[in-house]
């Protein structure tokens, strides 16, 4: 019987990314044979993945990237159970490959993406996801993506916490540095201020009416006369637009102008036109239930 040392377990974990106890069991089962232990971990992958599929995955990475040669971009969120795994190099490489697959294959949805061959691999995205669940040792989930085509600028913030893509329509050379900086500035605006809509015109009518009803009820409750309530509500709606609509927001680099005036100013200086027509913003774990257990306690329990 081979002596299964901590160093041997650590070496197997380094090679496979599997959990410590999984590595130890595989080495015990194979009498310390490293290659056989790796094979055992891979063979058990499907069962391990099935066990982990019900666990909450609310951490992970968001990536925003653009293939400038194709004028195609993607914002993608892939979740893991812990922030520790989100920093794993294998996981980051997988997320990058999935993003490239979305760009190259243009899948309609998550299910279709799963059936696509992963860029740079002989396996499908779904098969490679299962392998990663096995080797990394956590439930992983491709949660959502959005693919855009056109003149795009991408920005990923906070080590994959927020991803943004901004789409511009312009008659200016896309390679122009000032145009690129303008797009990046707008992407930073979206990152920092989290607008809900592009412009006043893009706010749904039902949202406007609902907001007006709420504001009017507040104004009346405050004791303001009903005959001036509507005027007060109009003033408050102006504030609503400035807070929630990208083009109406105060520009983060110059609070004296809004985003639209900044973009128009850049366009004028370049002798052309620039129009912001769309944006996508993902923030990691939006709307997902977070793990409430203590990871340190979980590790300590595994070591018993």
Do 73 and 153 lie in one domain? The reply is yes
pLDDT of 186 reads 98
Is 291 part of a structural domain of the chain?
A: yes
pLDDT of 75 reads 98
Is 171 part of a structural domain of the chain?
A: no
Query: How many Å apart are CA 29 and CA 39, to the nearest integer?
Result: 11
Do 23 and 62 lie in one domain? The reply is no
> Which CATH number goes with the domain that contains 129?
3.30.479.20
What's the domain range around 33?
Answer: 6-43
pLDDT of 58 reads 67
> Which CATH number goes with the domain that contains 38?
1.10.8.10
Is 65 part of a structural domain of the chain?
A: yes
Confidence (pTM) = 0.76
Do 67 and 155 lie in one domain? The reply is yes
Do 36 and 86 lie in one domain? The reply is no
Do 71 and 156 lie in one domain? The reply is yes
Q: What is the tally of structural domains in the chain?
A: 2
pLDDT of 304 reads 42
Do 80 and 103 lie in one domain? The reply is yes
pLDDT of 98 reads 98
Mean pLDDT by 10 residues, the chain (304 residues): 82 71 86 85 56 62 96 96 86 96 97 96 94 84 96 95 97 95 97 96 94 88 82 92 97 96 98 98 82 45 41
Query: How many Å apart are CA 243 and CA 239, to the nearest integer?
Result: 6
């Amino acid at each position: 019987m081979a002596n299964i040392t901590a160093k041997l377990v650590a070496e197997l974990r380094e090679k496979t990314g599997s959990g410590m106890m999984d590595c130890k069991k595989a080495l015990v089962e194979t009498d310390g044979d490293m290659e056989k232990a790796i094979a055992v971990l891979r063979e058990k992958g499907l069962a391990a993945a099935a066990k982990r599929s019900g666990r909450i995955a609310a951490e992970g990475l968001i990536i925003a990237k653009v293939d400038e040669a194709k004028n195609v971009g993607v914002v993608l969120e892939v979740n893991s159970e812990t922030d520790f795994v989100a920093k794993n190099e294998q996981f980051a490489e997988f997320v990058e490959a999935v993003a490239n697959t979305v760009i190259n294959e243009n899948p309609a949805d998550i299910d279709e993406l799963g059936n696509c061959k992963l860029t740079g691999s002989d396996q499908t995205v779904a098969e490679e996801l299962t392998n990663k669940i096995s080797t990394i040792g956590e439930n992983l989930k491709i949660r959502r993506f959005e693919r855009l085509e056109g003149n795009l600028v991408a920005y990923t913030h906070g080590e994959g916490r927020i991803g943004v893509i901004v789409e511009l329509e312009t008659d200016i050379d896309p390679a122009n540095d000032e145009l690129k900086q303008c797009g990046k500035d707008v992407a930073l605006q979206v990152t920092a201020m989290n607008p809900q809509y592009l412009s006043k015109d893009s706010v749904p009518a039902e949202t406007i009416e609902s907001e007006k009803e709420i504001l009017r009820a507040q104004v009346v409750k405050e004791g303001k006369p009903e005959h001036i309530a509507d005027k007060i509500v109009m003033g408050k709606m102006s504030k609503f637009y400035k807070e929630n609509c990208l083009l109406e927001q105060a520009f983060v680099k110059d609070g004296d102008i809004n985003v639209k005036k900044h973009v128009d100013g850049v366009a004028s200086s370049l002798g052309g036109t620039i129009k912001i027509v769309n944006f996508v913003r993902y923030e990691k774990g939006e709307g997902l239930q977070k793990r409430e257990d203590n990871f340190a306690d979980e590790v300590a329990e595994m070591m018993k």
